[in-house]
Amino acid sequence: MDKDLQKEAAIREKNRAARVAFPDGAKAPRLGQGTWHLGERPSRRDSEIEALRLGVRLGMTLIDTAEMYGEGRAESLVGEAIRGIGRNGLFLVSKVYPHNAGRKNIFESCENSLRRLGTDFLDLYLLHWRGNIPLAETVACMEELVSRGLIRRWGVSNFDTADMEELWRIPGGSRCAANQVLYHLGSRGVEYDLLPWMRKHRVPLMAYCPIAQGGSLRRGLFENPAVRRVAAAHGATPAQVLLGFVMRGGDVIAIPKAGTPRHTLENAGAGLLALTDADLAALSAAYPAPAHKTALDMR
């Protein structure tokens, strides 16, 4: 076996072994795949499909998408990518628009997502963000989707601590299985109170944009001297360091996006990275943990 194949085998084994537990005992990969902005350009479709398939082969079997992403085009892309792959080996996540998260629309929205994905059920279905529909109604609908067998469990996205506390006061709200929020080295606000709250209640945090893909938040992260020194010390890339930082506690799921097989391989390689206490201290000196409450970042 040549060195490249040996490395891929090691990545696959590590990523398959690194799991995060949900409240019901189910487990999912600590390193998954995001799909925001995938499926929007036909010229990139083949590359994006191969990137997703490679990720699955490398143990990144959790795939996150949403009806919002390309108005369903990302779900359709995922459906094509996973065709022929054993369903039991996948952990599929999608999200419902807030305006569809009530009794009038949620069942049709879920069924449309399932149709586009080419599957009979979702492993996790999330409320994408809070809207005008009462949380109690959304929770009741989510529980009905579980009873119908269309989803295995449900959760939320972009919920801050006060939102989670409110959710917990609603009948059935404590059955929330996950909260997906923006989290990366340059945006650590969730560490002040949200992440501790979730750990106390044993609810996994899913980190979207864990390497600050695009936008002003990414500015300077890859070029930061501390990030680059840590990367060089491990023979890693800055992106792998950022992913390793988010996953360092073992109970956060990272869902980086990749539109090419090369980027998928880079992301998957983060599973081999073990940051030391000295590494984490250097990164925290460059990007300190929050000393006070900040608004939940959604950029």
Which residues are part of the catalytic machinery?
A: 69
Q: Exposed, middle or buried: residue 271 (CB in 10 Å: 0-12, 13-18, 19+)?
A: buried
The answer to whether 134 and 169 have CB atoms below 8 angstroms apart is no
At 114, list the tokens.
């399932």
CA distance 16 to 160: 30
Q: Exposed, middle or buried: residue 29 (CB in 10 Å: 0-12, 13-18, 19+)?
A: buried
CA distance 29 to 233: 26
- Tell me the Cα Rg of the chain: 18
Residue-wise burial string across 98-131, b where 16 or more C-beta atoms lie within 10 A, e elsewhere: bebbbeebbeebbebbbebbebebbbbbbbbbbb
At 120, list the tokens.
């009979």
Ramachandran bin of 72, using left for φ above 0, alpha for ψ from -120 to 50, beta for the remaining angles:
left
Q: Exposed, middle or buried: residue 55 (CB in 10 Å: 0-12, 13-18, 19+)?
A: buried
In what helix (H) or strand (E) does residue 16 lie, and over which residues does it extend?
Answer: helix 3-17
The answer to whether 36 and 208 have CB atoms below 8 angstroms apart is yes
CA distance 202 to 200: 6
